[in-house]
Amino acid sequence: MPTTATDSCLEHNARYARGEGLHVATHPGSQPIRPARRLAVVACMDARMDVEDLLGIQTGDAHVIRNAGGVVTDDVIRCLIISHHLLDTNEIVLIHHTKCGMLAFTDDLLKAGLEGDPAATDLLGKATGRSFTPCRTSSASPAAFHAFRGAPEPLDSPRNEANIERLSADVRRGMAAILSHPWIPTTGPDAVTVRGFIYDVDTGRLEEVK
């Protein structure tokens, strides 16, 4: 039997991967502001991931924070601090996924392409399979795109040992960033737990990253 909200989500995910729908997509009526499952989820913005569906959670169960890659940025840390200290969440789940677009570039490559470097523009076009149109200007923001470390691969490449390790490494980095933050307690009566996963977009299954 599930003992935590995260364990329950994993049980739901196994059912989802078998084709069972658990998320009820109707307005539930008046609800309290605090998430019912005391859960905060950090996930990628990828269109193939419906977080509520794949975790089998309902409206009002969890805070869901999404960005490109599901990266634990300063803004994600900001959200998690508010989520925990003001709204009583005590479990954090990080979700990356296979075939992620963040595997297809490096920060320097994308910046160079946007600034108009011809070689970078050509490489980005080949990686994405679309015409990359440079802006031909520089900008101080964003300070980083947080591409996953390692050699870029073509967009939507099938999973393999190398890209799974790149994904796992960033999940671990995100977990470490949360666990080491002085304002997110990991011991004592107010402690949070943090677990990380890779979602396989082809099978619908979550795989835990230790």
**Can you give the pTM of this predicted structure?**
0.95
Residue 93 contacts residue 197 (beta carbons within 8 Å): yes
**Exposure class string for 87-117: b at 16+ Cβ within 10 A, else e:** eebbbbbbbbbbbbbbbbbbeebbbbbbeeb
Around 13, how many Cα atoms within 13 Å sit in the side-chain half-sphere? 24
CB 4 within 8 A of CB 91: yes
Domain 40-103+159-203 falls in which CATH fold? Answer: Beta-carbonic Anhydrase; Chain A (3.40.1050)
Q: What is the pLDDT of residue 105?
A: 96
Condensed to tens digits (0 to 9), the pLDDT of residues 92-101 reads 999 999 999 9
Instruction: Judge whether 144 and 164 are in contact, CB under 8 Å.
Output: no
Q: 148 and 69 in contact (C-beta within 8 Å)?
A: yes
Question: What is the per-residue pLDDT across 39-52, written as a single tens digit (0 to 9) for each?
Answer: 999 999 999 999 99
- Taking the alpha carbons of 204, 205, 206, 210 in that order, is the dihedral positive or negative? negative
Task: Using DSSP bridges, classify how beta strands 91-97 and 206-209 pair: parallel, antiparallel or unpaired.
Answer: unpaired
pLDDT in tens, 143-152: 999 999 999 9
Spans of all domains in the chain: 40-103+159-203, 106-144
